[in-house]
Amino acid sequence: MIDLTTLIAYIAVVLGFVFIPGPATLLTIARATSSGTKVGIATGAGIAAGDVFHTVMAMVGISAIIATSATLFSLIKYIGAAYLVYLGIRAIIKKIPADPAAGGLAISAGKAFRQAVLTEVLNPKTALFFLAFLPQFVRPENGSVMLQLTTLGIIFVMLGLFSTVVFAVSAGRLGAFLRRNPTVLRWQGKVVGGIYCALGVRLALQQR
């Protein structure tokens, strides 16, 4: 089972991820601002459902790699590390739209949920992110790799859902604040990018 120190560190890192405005957060804000809190929450639930899919895919692939091949594990690790750094650099230099709700059209909660699920499931960046992120907190000496991955995945999904619900409920005020403060939008990309780069370096230095 996951040791307490690793679990606390993981929860702290995930909380930092889910509460720093990123693509999922901005999508939720856009939906909630344009179509209401219910639609925003449905969007967050759809994103969480998509993350469950990616967690299962990561569990199957990562557990097999860790259990059978140190070479394949190292290969995936370095590819994942390079990809995280790439994402970080892109987030740092990317220009963020001044209005996260621009162009949003009112839709039903059901449609918002379905769109969010498809958006998350069909996003290869999310799949690679899970593949690169979850192994950093898996310790084979602590027991079943599959059980550890399951626990980490559930925690990630639940904390992610919690954060999107919080943002959806407060989207009116938060959306107005972001629109009045373009500096916040510019710096949020740099913060997210810095975290991605740091995780990429940590993953590259991690031993099996």
**What confidence tens digit (pLDDT) does each residue in 164-207 have?**
899 888 876 665 565 566 666 567 667 767 877 887 787 777 66
Bigger pLDDT: 23 vs 50: 50
Q: What is the pLDDT of residue 103?
A: 44
| C-alpha distance across the termini of the chain, in Å | 17
Query: What does the alpha-carbon distance between residue 29 and residue 37 come to, in Å, rounded to a whole number?
Result: 9
Q: What is the pLDDT of residue 110?
A: 92
Bigger pLDDT: 62 vs 129: 129
What is the pLDDT confidence band of residue 78, given thresholds at 50, 70 and 90?
Answer: confident
Q: What is the pLDDT of residue 45?
A: 95
Query: What does the alpha-carbon distance between residue 69 and residue 77 come to, in Å, rounded to a whole number?
Result: 12
pLDDT of 84 higher than 50: yes
Is residue 180 within 8 A of residue 99, CB to CB? The reply is no
Of 61-75, 140-154, 186-200, the range with the lowest mean pLDDT is 61-75
Query: What does the alpha-carbon distance between residue 133 and residue 131 come to, in Å, rounded to a whole number?
Result: 6
Q: What is the pLDDT of residue 52?
A: 92
For helices 37-68 and 23-35, the axis angle rounded to 10 degrees is 160
CA-to-CA separations, 143 to 30, 88, 140, in angstroms, rounded: 42, 32, 6
- For tokens 């394949």, name the residue: 72
Query: What does the alpha-carbon distance between residue 77 and residue 75 come to, in Å, rounded to a whole number?
Result: 5
